[in-house]
């Protein structure tokens, strides 16, 4: 009497465990992606190009932020997606662990010429001379200056530069406003600890090259300088708390309200400013090293094919289509038209594909007289090929954690910059040894 | 006497739970115990490492920092939660007819999702423009940088955790109503002050409930994660600009597992936490024999 219920229950349990049929990703002409969303025309129009080219393919875009654990678990379980879209800095670790495929042969078959891509972006997806990804968007780092605040203080925005550290510190102190421990205005935000690699490079040191150089005296000097900058403007705790109050993505952002006089920032923020506060009076200038040479750090995402993907050739074709210059131009036009319907300017699309950028900014770009775009985009375009990128590392997450933690300790005054970076170097070396040993 | 048929039926009814426990709790626990003796990065098969992960924990400065932060938080949070909940429950008991309304109002904040709570308190606790410092300012105090000064981050988190004090207060209120009124009457006749009544009648009368909340809150505090992670680590699995002041043990475990992909090491960290909690709970059980009073044993 009790046998049938027990059998039924066991059947339910087994069914719940899965494995009773092939996964949807096993079907031919199916492509499954992870980490890629469809937030705007840059994504939807490019996907449409592929769909029109290969209508028979069942393209499944798993939208949402990239989930590293989910991705690696799927690879480990032998059930990976066909494509992964992630921050380029993560690819080195995946390549070292064998989680993504060598794309060299398939890119050759698809006729993808990586020489047309920006060198810094290609460097980020190359590990041990093997290409593991194709770069997608491309960001750089620049300075944004608040013209009214600077002029009110008698400072010509054209004279601001990161070459003369003494003059920059003087300017920051002059522009900062601190009353009874409350900060009312930041004079200059060096954007630490995120921009440590840029400040170090400006001081002549590579934070990571053949290995980590976190305790290089020039890196330590950069940490000390930026920590002193922040200390002179109210100290890190108040500085950071003040920064947390900004409405950075709104019409009343920190530049409109005059809460910041000057700051180092990622290039995408210029687009954000143009969209949310088009009349904001700012000047975008390049970051420069101490000799006055233009310098910027590259960032962005890349496409890669996981190890064990069921449809690698189709995935490669998808990547080639998505990153082709013509596809980018189609997406740029779609984006421009969509924004035009809302009466908004199109601030351009910054890709890692140089040919695409030339066409977009030559044929599609529509700044509509917005000052921040007219001036800023010119600067952004001029620095793109002066960018550097840290080489991929199998322990990239650990390295970033080591140096960001060290800079935080130095900013807070808990450790001297030298002690903090020495500790970071020890931690980074240990992390690399551990990853190498596994 | 239970018949064989009844016993079978009983087992059948508990079978879903037993199967769930074995598959979803005991199985993963045993597997994580095995992983704690291996090096495992999700992609390559686990490699046996003996006690290396456990030895590494002893030398790991960040693990020590994370454990210290967690113990510090627990030592502040648990007594604060108990004292405030007891105070609120005592007030509620005197609320008369409106007690039901106040009980509901007090319990409602517990329903707030932890992530929303963390986002809200990032604004309230902001050292420059936050409401908490604004209120302190009315009384002439210059508030600290709750969310960015390492010395104040943990006290700030404790302050935030008191938002959910209602759930403990409701338990205490139920316990308080069960203390026999004649005991207070006898104490009053003996001339006991309000404080003596509380110390010698109320506290022994609700000691079982206080003990329960002590154990449960201690375990929950040692596993604190969501609010601190949302406030200080949310956007990226790296280090917040406040350093390691909010690096709690489970956050560090999560970083090691899913940031650095050291599943073996993270499993060892989990088992160390399990042992710490087990030791603390055993001590609490031992102490309870002397300090906890149960009606049915009196």
Interface confidence, given as ipTM, is: 0.77
> Scanning every residue of chain A, which has its alpha carbon at the shortest distance from the alpha carbon of B43?
A76
Distance from CA of B130 to the nearest CA of A (A): 9
User: A296-297 and A126-127 as β-strands: parallel, antiparallel, unpaired?
Assistant: unpaired
* CB-CB neighbors (< 8 A) of A73 in chain B: 42
- Write down the pLDDT at residue A15: 43
* CB-CB neighbors (< 8 A) of A414 in chain B: 150, 243
> What residue spans define the domains of chain B?
52-297
pLDDT band with cut points at 50, 70 and 90 for residue B260 = confident
Tens digits of residue pLDDT in A239-252: 999 998 999 999 99
List residues bridging with A183 in a β-sheet.
Answer: A178
> What residue spans define the domains of chain A?
25-138+300-377, 141-297+395-436
> Scanning every residue of chain B, which has its alpha carbon at the shortest distance from the alpha carbon of A240?
B148
pLDDT band with cut points at 50, 70 and 90 for residue A437 = very low
Please measure the distance between the N-terminal and C-terminal CA atoms of chain A and give it in whole angstroms.
Answer: 54
* CB-CB neighbors (< 8 A) of A237 in chain B: 127, 145, 148-149, 242
Q: Would residue A125 be called left, alpha or beta, if left means φ above 0 and alpha means ψ between -120 and 50 degrees? A: alpha
- Write down the pLDDT at residue A12: 46
Q: Which of A68, A240, A401 sits opposite B238 (nearest CB)?
A: A401
> CA B191: distance to chain centroid?
39
pLDDT band with cut points at 50, 70 and 90 for residue A393 = confident
Query: Mean pLDDT across chain A, nearest whole number?
Result: 90
So what CATH class is A25-138+300-377?
alpha beta
CB contact under 8 A, B128 and A182: yes
Tens digits of residue pLDDT in B175-213: 998 899 899 999 999 998 989 999 999 999 999 999 999
Q: Which of A75, A180, A408 sits opposite B43 (nearest CB)?
A: A75
> Scanning every residue of chain A, which has its alpha carbon at the shortest distance from the alpha carbon of B264?
A438
Topology (CATH level 3) of domain B52-297: MetI-like fold (1.10.3720)
Selected for mutation to probe chain A from B21, B127, B136 (highest A CB count within 10 Å) is B127
So what CATH class is A141-297+395-436?
alpha beta
Q: Which of A240, A405, A437 sits opposite B244 (nearest CB)?
A: A405
Q: Does A179 touch chain B (CB under 8 A)?
A: no
- Write down the pLDDT at residue A11: 46
Selected for mutation to probe chain A from B15, B48, B61, B238 (highest A CB count within 10 Å) is B238
Tokens of B155: 């006290």
Percent of chain B with pLDDT over 90: 61
Residue B253 has pLDDT above 80, yes or no: yes
Q: Does A381 touch chain B (CB under 8 A)?
A: no
Note whether A25-138+300-377 and A141-297+395-436 share their fold: yes
Selected for mutation to probe chain A from B8, B121, B261 (highest A CB count within 10 Å) is B261
- Write down the pLDDT at residue B219: 95
Tens digits of residue pLDDT in A278-320: 999 999 999 999 999 999 999 999 999 999 999 999 999 999 9
List residues bridging with A296 in a β-sheet.
Answer: A387
CB-defined contacts A:B, below 8 A: 106
Distance from CA of B244 to the nearest CA of A (A): 7
Tokens of B116: 């929303």
Q: How many CB atoms are located within 10 Å of the residue A332 CB?
A: 27
CB contact under 8 A, B260 and A431: yes
* CB-CB neighbors (< 8 A) of A69 in chain B: 42, 257-258
């Amino acid at each position: 009497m009790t046998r049938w219920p027990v059998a039924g229950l066991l059947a339910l349990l087994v069914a719940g465990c899965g494995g009773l049929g092939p996964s949807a990703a096993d079907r031919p002409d199916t492509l499954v992606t992870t980490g890629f969303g469809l937030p705007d025309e840059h994504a939807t129009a490019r996907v449409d190009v592929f769909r029109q080219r290969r209508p028979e393919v069942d393209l499944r875009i798993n939208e949402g932020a990239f989930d590293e654990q989910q991705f690696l678990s799927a690879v480990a379980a032998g059930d990976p997606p066909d494509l992964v879209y992630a921050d380029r800095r993560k690819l080195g670790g995946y390549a070292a662990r064998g989680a993504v495929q060598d794309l060299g042969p398939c890119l050759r078959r698809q006729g993808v010429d990586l020489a047309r891509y920006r060198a810094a972006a290609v460097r980020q997806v190359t590990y041990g001379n093997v290409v593991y990804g194709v770069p997608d968007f491309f960001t750089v780092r620049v300075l944004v200056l608040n013209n009214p605040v600077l002029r009110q203080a008698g400072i010509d925005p054209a004279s601001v530069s990161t070459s003369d550290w003494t003059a920059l510190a003087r300017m920051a102190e002059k522009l900062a406003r601190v009353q009874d421990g409350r900060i009312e205005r930041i004079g200059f935000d060096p954007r630490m600890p995120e921009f440590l690699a840029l400040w170090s490079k400006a001081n002549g040191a590579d934070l990571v090259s053949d290995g980590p150089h976190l305790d290089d005296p020039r890196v330590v000097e950069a940490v000390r300088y930026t920590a002193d900058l922040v200390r002179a403007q109210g100290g890190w705790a108040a500085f950071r708390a003040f920064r947390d109050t900004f409405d950075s993505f709104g019409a009343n952002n920190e530049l409109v309200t005059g809460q910041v006089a000057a700051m180092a920032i990622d290039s995408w923020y210029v687009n954000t400013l143009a969209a949310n506060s088009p009349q904001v009076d700012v000047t975008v200038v390049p970051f420069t090293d101490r000799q006055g040479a233009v310098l910027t750090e590259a960032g962005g995402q890349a496409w890669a094919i996981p190890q064990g993907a069921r449809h690698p050739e189709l995935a490669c074709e998808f990547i080639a289509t998505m990153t082709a210059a013509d596809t980018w131009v189609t997406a740029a036009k779609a984006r421009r038209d969509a924004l035009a319907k809302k009466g908004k300017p199109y601030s351009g699309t910054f890709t890692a594909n140089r040919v695409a950028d030339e066409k977009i900014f030559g044929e599609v770009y529509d700044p509509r007289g917005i000052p921040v775009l007219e001036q800023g985009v010119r600067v952004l375009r001029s620095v793109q090929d002066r960018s550097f990128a840290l080489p991929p590392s199998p322990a990239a997450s650990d390295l970033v954690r080591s140096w960001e933690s060290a800079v935080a300790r130095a900013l807070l005054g808990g450790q001297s910059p030298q002690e903090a970076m020495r500790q970071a170097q020890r931690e980074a070396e240990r992390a690399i040894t551990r990853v190498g040993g596994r | 006497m239970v018949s064989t048929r009844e016993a079978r039926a009983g087992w059948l009814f508990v079978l879903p739970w037993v199967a769930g426990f074995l598959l979803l709790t005991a199985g993963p626990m045993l597997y994580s115990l095995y992983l704690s003796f291996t090096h495992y990065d999700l992609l390559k098969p686990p490699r046996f490492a003996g006690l290396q992960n456990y030895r590494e924990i002893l030398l790991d400065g960040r693990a020590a920092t994370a454990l210290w932060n967690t113990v510090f938080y627990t030592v502040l949070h648990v007594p604060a939660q108990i004292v405030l909940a007891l105070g609120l429950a005592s007030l509620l008991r005197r609320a008369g007819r409106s007690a039901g309304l106040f009980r509901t109002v007090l319990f409602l904040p517990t329903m707030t999702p932890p992530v929303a709570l963390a986002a809200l308190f990032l604004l309230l606790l902001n050292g420059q423009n936050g409401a908490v410092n604004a209120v302190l300012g009315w009384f002439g105090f210059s508030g600290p940088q709750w969310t960015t000064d390492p010395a104040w981050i943990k006290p700030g988190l404790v302050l935030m955790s008191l938002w959910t004090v209602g759930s403990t207060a409701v338990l205490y209120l139920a316990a308080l109503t069960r203390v026999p009124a004649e005991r207070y009457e006898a104490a009053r006749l003996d001339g006991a002050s309000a404080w003596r009544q509380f110390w010698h009648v109320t506290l022994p009368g609700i000691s079982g409930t206080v003990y329960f909340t002590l154990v449960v809150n201690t375990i929950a505090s040692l596993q604190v994660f969501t609010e601190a992670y949302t406030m200080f680590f949310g956007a990226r699995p790296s280090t917040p600009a406040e350093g390691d002041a909010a690096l709690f043990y489970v956050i560090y475990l999560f970083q090691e597992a899913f940031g650095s992909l050291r599943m073996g090491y993270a499993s060892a960290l989990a088992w160390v936490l399990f042992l710490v909690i087990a030791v603390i709970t055993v001590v609490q059980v031992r102490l309870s024999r002397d300090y906890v009073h149960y009606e049915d044993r009196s």
